Amino acid sequence: MSSGMYVGFADGASRHTCNLASAAWVIYSPTGQLVAAGGACLGPASNNVAEYRAVIELLWDALSRGITQLEVRLDSQLVVSQLNRAYQVRNSTLLRQFMRIRSLERHFEVITFNHIPRSQNSVSDAYANYILDWHLTHIQ
């Protein structure tokens, strides 16, 4: 894989009324080309769990492609603040997800987590919601 900083966007979506959540991510090359996109239906989960799962899946996908320099962008200020150690993780479910990310981080030469406005996370946000919509119309 070529050197340079890749950019990954991650987002989780949760619809409590439907008891369903999803995670989605996209990866762009250092030159701005789309490298990968992925998503998963998670079943019942909170929005914060979905956000964490999106990051975990993004990191797995990046590593499987040989990417070792990654800037992760999320619109969840809570998750970014926890991953940057500005906030503590007190919820045991989130703590397990947090520890999985810490374990994956060891495989990167460079990794950063940055908060962005939701408007700048439109691709992964749309994909996460598409996954929910698809499951709601095809699985019920």
Q: Give domain status of residue 137, yes or no.
A: no
Q: Give domain status of residue 135, yes or no.
A: no
State how far the alpha carbon of 67 is from the alpha carbons of 98, 105, 128, in Å.
20, 12, 23
CB 53 within 8 A of CB 45: yes
When divided into structural domains, the chain yields a total of 1
Look at residue 140 in the predicted model and tell me its pLDDT.
56
Q: Give domain status of residue 120, yes or no.
A: yes
CATH number of the domain enclosing 16: 3.30.420.10
* Terminal CA-CA length for the chain: 41
At residue 92, the 3 state secondary structure works out as helix
pLDDT digits (tens, 9 = 90+) for 10-62: 999 998 777 899 999 999 999 999 999 999 999 999 999 999 999 999 999 99
Q: Give domain status of residue 30, yes or no.
A: yes
Q: Give domain status of residue 125, yes or no.
A: yes
Half-sphere exposure at residue 86, Cβ-oriented, CA atoms within 13 angstroms: 9
Torsion angle in degrees (nearest 10) through CA of 56, 108, 27, 38: -30
Mean pLDDT over 99-112 rounds to 97
Q: Give domain status of residue 140, yes or no.
A: no
Q: Give domain status of residue 138, yes or no.
A: no
Look at residue 91 in the predicted model and tell me its pLDDT.
94
State how far the alpha carbon of 19 is from the alpha carbons of 30, 44, 136, in Å.
37, 5, 10
CB 111 within 8 A of CB 67: no
1 falls in which pLDDT band (50, 70, 90)? very low
Per the structure, the complete domain to which residue 30 belongs is given by: 6-130
Q: Give domain status of residue 11, yes or no.
A: yes
At residue 23, the 3 state secondary structure works out as strand
